[in-house]
């Protein structure tokens, strides 16, 4: 993790270096070339005015040859040494007529204007009488000044670059430090210390809100782990009872010689316990598969009245034994896309409960209704009802309102959880409305899809 943070810092720095180098180079190039152009312009002006003055003052006299009408003081400037300007005057025949101290051979210019003859720059003018006048000057001092200027630009650029990069490095470190702290804290969240959370710090920054988001995710994961742990513990607990029954019955039966009737009775007890275990294991499997998103659900047209009718047929013996009457309110024709078997399981769980938690002489009414985009199945009973405080957790696993009564009736508290999970898989909802001692109504609402 540390490596990763470091490489982000290096990447940031590399990007910043590229931008800085680009900026410094462009800036220096612009400065350098504008200084160079200005200097060349100034030099041209300097030799340009001189060549014009000499061209105006020069004339070729038949008798005296080429003469310059200029003061000695003016001309003194042209004999100042190596870097001083120099001039030449050619007559109309192209022979050198006049010259100041000229450094080496100067070729006769072919046109007026400026020319570069490194390390010199020269200006040419045509004068009177076919004369050609040239003024030149050494560019060495200018080139030296330019080299110095370039060096100082490079130096300043290097300082800007170094300062910029150092500031960038420090800034990146400051920005990344909380991320490193967060990753260390996240690494410290273990099973042994699952409630440890990231320091949210200043929530108004992006990192603060990232920490808050991560904390939320950790909370949800922690809850999920806890739920699963509770589920496993509850499931084991539920399985223990029938397993103990099987073990105790078998041990008792094998303890001594028994009559055939006693063996039969023992086997019957074992069969009941095994059935209960099978039922429980089936339920657990359904829920676990639903959790893993692995509960295959068909999408066939399902007629809700038909399904309800089938359920009522199925539970008729149970209702008769409990002295509860059954009624169906609703005609066929209300169809939803879904898994017929699973929907029947869900409704069966509701109707079984409505019979189990009813009273002798009571009634269970299943009604099917069409609500436009949705369809609903309501299971209404005249039973014991559910106290308000238990309703919120009613659809959670292993929830029993009345432990003694549920256990006696064989419920592990999974029926409603399974119904809820099936309905959820269909994109529907399940709700309960109940008045203690009067009765309860469970309503499944399902989307009708494009049926």
Task: Give contact residues for ligand ADP (rule: CB under 6 A).
Answer: 349, 353-354, 357, 381, 383-384, 386, 394, 399-402, 406, 411-417, 440
- We find the least distance from the C-beta atom of residue 283 to ligand ADP, in angstroms, to be 9
Question: Which residue, 249 or 349, is less far from ligand ADP as judged by CB?
Answer: 349
Question: Which residue, 132 or 349, is less far from ligand ADP as judged by CB?
Answer: 349
- We find the least distance from the C-beta atom of residue 280 to ligand ADP, in angstroms, to be 10
Question: Which residue, 181 or 400, is less far from ligand ADP as judged by CB?
Answer: 400
Distance CA(232)–CA(238), nearest Å, equals: 10
Residue nearest to ligand ADP (CB): 411
- We find the least distance from the C-beta atom of residue 176 to ligand ADP, in angstroms, to be 51
- We find the least distance from the C-beta atom of residue 405 to ligand ADP, in angstroms, to be 7
Distance CA(280)–CA(380), nearest Å, equals: 26
- We find the least distance from the C-beta atom of residue 284 to ligand ADP, in angstroms, to be 13
Per-residue buried b or exposed e for 346-370, using 16+ beta carbons within 10 Å of the residue's own CB? bbbbbbbbbbbbbeeebbbbbbbeb
- We find the least distance from the C-beta atom of residue 303 to ligand ADP, in angstroms, to be 24
Contact yes or no for 173/181 (Cβ under 8 A): no
- We find the least distance from the C-beta atom of residue 379 to ligand ADP, in angstroms, to be 7
Tell how far CA 209 is from the center of its chain. Answer: 13
Question: Which residue, 290 or 412, is less far from ligand ADP as judged by CB?
Answer: 412
Encoded tokens for 299? 């999408």
Question: Which residue, 85 or 413, is less far from ligand ADP as judged by CB?
Answer: 413
Start-to-end Cα distance in the chain: 53
- We find the least distance from the C-beta atom of residue 353 to ligand ADP, in angstroms, to be 3
Question: Which residue, 91 or 381, is less far from ligand ADP as judged by CB?
Answer: 381
Question: Which residue, 124 or 286, is less far from ligand ADP as judged by CB?
Answer: 286
Which residues on neighbouring strands pair with residue 83, listed in sequence order?
Answer: none
Distance CA(442)–CA(444), nearest Å, equals: 7
Distance CA(401)–CA(145), nearest Å, equals: 97
Neighbours of 114 (CB within 10 A): 16
Contact yes or no for 355/319 (Cβ under 8 A): yes
CA distances from 374 to 86, 140, 341, 369, 395 (A): 105, 94, 20, 9, 21
Question: Which residue, 54 or 412, is less far from ligand ADP as judged by CB?
Answer: 412
Distance CA(193)–CA(141), nearest Å, equals: 76
Extract the runs of DSSP E, i.e. beta strands, from 24-85. Answer: 58-61, 65-68
C-alpha torsion angle, residues 329, 332, 335, 341 (rounded to 10)? 80
Neighbours of 296 (CB within 10 A): 8
């Amino acid at each position: 993790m540390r490596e990763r943070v470091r490489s982000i810092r290096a990447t940031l720095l590399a990007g910043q270096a590229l931008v800085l180098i680009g900026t410094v180079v462009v800036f220096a190039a612009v400065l350098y070339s504008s200084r160079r152009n200005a200097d060349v312009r100034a030099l041209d002006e300097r030799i340009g005015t001189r060549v014009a003055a000499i061209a105006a003052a020069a004339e070729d006299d038949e008798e005296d040859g080429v003469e310059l009408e200029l003061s000695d003081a003016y001309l003194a400037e042209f004999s100042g040494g190596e870097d001083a300007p120099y001039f030449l005057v050619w007559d109309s025949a192209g022979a050198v007529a006049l010259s100041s101290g000229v450094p080496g051979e100067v070729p006769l210019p072919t046109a007026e204007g400026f020319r570069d003859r490194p390390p010199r720059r020269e200006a040419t003018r045509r004068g009177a009488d076919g004369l050609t006048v040239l003024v030149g000057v050494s560019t060495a001092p200018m080139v030296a000044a330019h080299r110095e200027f370039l060096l100082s630009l490079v130096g300043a650029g290097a300082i800007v670059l170094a300062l910029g990069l150092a500031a960038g490095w420090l800034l990146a470190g400051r920005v990344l430090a909380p991320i490193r702290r967060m990753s260390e804290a996240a690494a410290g969240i273990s099973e042994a210390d699952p409630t440890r959370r990231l320091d949210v710090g200043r929530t108004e920054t992006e990192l603060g809100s990232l920490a808050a988001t991560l904390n939320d995710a950790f909370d949800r994961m922690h809850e999920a782990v806890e739920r699963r742990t509770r589920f496993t513990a509850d499931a084991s607990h539920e399985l223990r009872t029938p397993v103990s029954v099987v073990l105790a019955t078998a041990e008792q039966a094998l303890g001594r010689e028994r009559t055939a009737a006693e063996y039969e009775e023992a086997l019957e007890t074992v069969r009941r316990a095994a059935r209960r275990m099978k039922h429980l294991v089936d339920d657990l499997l359904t829920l676990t598969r639903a959790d893993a998103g692995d509960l295959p659900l068909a999408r066939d047209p399902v007629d809700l009245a038909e399904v309800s009718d089938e359920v009522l047929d199925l539970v008729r013996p149970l209702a008769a034994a409990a002295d509860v009457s059954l009624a169906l309110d609703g005609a066929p024709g209300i169809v939803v896309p879904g898994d017929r078997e699973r929907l029947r399981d869900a409704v069966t769980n509701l109707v079984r409960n409505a019979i189990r938690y009813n009273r002798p002489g009571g009634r269970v009414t299943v009604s099917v209704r069409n609500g436009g985009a949705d369809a609903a199945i309501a299971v209404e009973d005249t039973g014991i009802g559910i106290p308000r405080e238990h309703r919120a957790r009613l659809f959670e696993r292993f929830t029993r309102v009345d432990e003694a009564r549920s256990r006696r009736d064989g419920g592990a508290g999974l029926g409603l959880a399974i119904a809820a999970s099936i309905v959820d898989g269909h994109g529907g909802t399940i709700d309960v409305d109940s008045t203690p001692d009067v009765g309860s109504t469970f309503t499944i609402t399902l989307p009708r899809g494009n049926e």
